[in-house]
Each structure stands twice: as structure tokens, then as C-alpha cells.
């Protein structure tokens, strides 16, 4: 990971912008973010893509592509459509990237929520975003169960 530098600018309000010392990576207009991220994954299908440092679980690029596609199709089968917002209330787990890419691959909008947030804060985010779905785990399930939105429970064991 590269170091970040802090740049402060003055406008109407004070704004703090963190910029990488590395150049931005251009994403072609004709690709979605999941297509761009996974475009050469088949070349590395048997190579490890993600490793969970705590549990030592891992996913290969092939497994990531498979699971992103499966999750995306599952979301579409639940009635999620282009532009629908999905709020993700998960901790920093290995499946997070698969969930985020699957949401975007389905044409939906990813909105991450801090699992440490109070249930009222999560509800406010869901309401303001007009979210159609929440993705959560067993640790945050009780915080979102009363919100009147469809839930997907991710088993992280």
C-alpha cells in the first residue's frame, strides 16, 4: 500500500482530501467496475486472490468470479434492478469484495454501512438511500431485522 498525502483546500467549507502518491487508474467508460476488476481473472483462476489474515481462509480468482456471478444472479432473482440501492452492513471480511462486486455486477448501487453504527443510524441510511435490500451477518442481524427492507444474511463461518 502506498502512503497517502494530505491536501487541504479552502472553499465555502474546509475540505480535506487524501491523495495517493500513485497515479489514478483509469477505468474505461465501456466497462463496469466489476468487469474492469475481473477482466483478466480467468488467466489467474487457480491463483489466490484474497486471504483472510485472521482465519487463513482464501479465495482464488476463479472462485471470486464464480461467486460474484452467483451473487449478482441471486440479487436479480430477488427483483433487484439497475439503480436499486443495497446497503451492506458487514465487518471487514473476505466476502466483502465479492458482495460489493456482485451488487455492482447486478447493476445496483452499493452503499456500505458501518456495522458498529446504532440501528437508528443504519435505518436512516437505508431510508435516505431508498434501499431495496440489506446484506448483513449474524453480528449485525439484530440491528437491521426491524427495518422494513428485504435482508440477505451472509454466513461468515
pLDDT tens for each residue of 132-145 = 999 999 999 999 99
Residues facing residue 35 across a β-bridge: none
The span from the CA of 149 to the CA of 152, in Å, is 10
The span from the CA of 95 to the CA of 77, in Å, is 20
Flag whether pLDDT at 18 surpasses 90.
Answer: no
Instruction: Give percent above pLDDT 90 in the chain.
Output: 76
The span from the CA of 136 to the CA of 145, in Å, is 10
Flag whether pLDDT at 6 surpasses 60.
Answer: no
Domain ranges of the chain: 31-153
How is 15-59 classified by DSSP, letter by letter?
EEEEEESSPP----TTS-HHHHHHTTGGGGTTSEEEE-TTT--EE
Strands (DSSP E) found in the chain: 4-10, 14-20, 48-51, 58-60, 85-89, 109-112, 133-136, 150-153
14 pLDDT band (50/70/90 cuts)?
confident
The span from the CA of 134 to the CA of 146, in Å, is 12
83, three cell numbers = 439503480
12 pLDDT band (50/70/90 cuts)?
low
Buried/exposed code over 121-150 (b: 16+ C-beta within 10 A; e: otherwise): ebbebbeeeebbbbbbbeebeebbeebebe
Q: Are 111 and 125 in contact (CB under 8 A)?
A: yes
Provide the mean pLDDT of the chain: 90
* pLDDT tens-digit readout, 28-68: 999 999 999 999 999 999 999 999 988 899 999 999 999 99
- Residue 15 is predicted with a pLDDT of 77
Which CATH number is 31-153 given? Answer: 3.40.50.980
Amino acid at each position: 500500500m502506498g502512503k497517502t498525502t494530505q491536501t487541504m483546500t479552502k472553499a465555502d467549507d474546509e475540505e480535506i482530501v487524501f491523495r495517493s502518491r500513485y497515479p489514478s487508474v483509469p477505468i474505461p467508460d465501456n466497462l463496469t467496475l466489476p468487469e474492469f476488476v475481473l477482466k483478466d481473472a480467468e488467466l489467474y483462476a487457480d491463483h489466490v486472490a484474497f486471504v483472510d489474515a485472521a482465519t487463513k481462509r482464501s479465495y482464488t480468482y476463479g472462485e471470486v468470479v464464480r461467486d460474484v456471478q452467483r451473487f449478482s444472479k441471486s440479487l436479480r432473482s430477488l427483483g433487484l434492478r439497475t439503480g436499486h440501492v443495497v446497503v451492506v452492513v458487514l465487518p471487514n471480511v473476505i466476502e466483502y469484495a465479492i458482495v460489493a462486486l456482485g451488487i455492482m455486477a447486478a447493476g445496483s448501487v452499493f452503499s456500505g454501512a458501518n456495522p458498529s453504527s446504532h440501528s437508528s443510524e443504519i435505518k436512516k441510511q437505508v431510508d435516505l438511500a431508498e434501499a431495496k435490500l440489506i446484506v448483513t451477518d449474524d453480528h449485525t442481524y439484530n440491528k437491521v431485522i426491524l427495518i422494513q427492507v428485504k435482508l440477505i444474511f451472509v454466513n461468515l463461518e
